[in-house]
Amino acid sequence: MYSHRDQKKYLDALKKFERKFTRQEYDDYKIFIKRDKDEEEFDSVAMMRLKELHDKYYKPVDTLKFDKFFKKSPGEEPDK
């Protein structure tokens, strides 16, 4: 079984992608939300489906893009 904390994290991350879901994905997501409100722990199949949705839509921010906005200290060597 997976923890309630993990499923909550995945559901919160997917909340802003609701509009991009296909009809089937949206139906699954609504079921996940209902089960979460009922405080049910997801079984392995439901958690696997939730992770698939999360991996499909959620892309972590690449922090390397922001290095150009910050100056390096004179003593630091630039990263190669």
Burial class (CB in 10 A: 0-12, 13-18, 19+), 37: exposed
pLDDT tens column, 22-42: 999 999 999 999 999 988 888
The model's pTM: 0.70
**Residue 72 Cα distances to 50, 61, 62, 64, 66, angstroms:** 41, 21, 19, 14, 12
Q: In the prediction, which pLDDT does 59 show?
A: 87
Block residue for tokens 């991009």: 20
pLDDT tens column, 40-52: 888 889 999 999 9
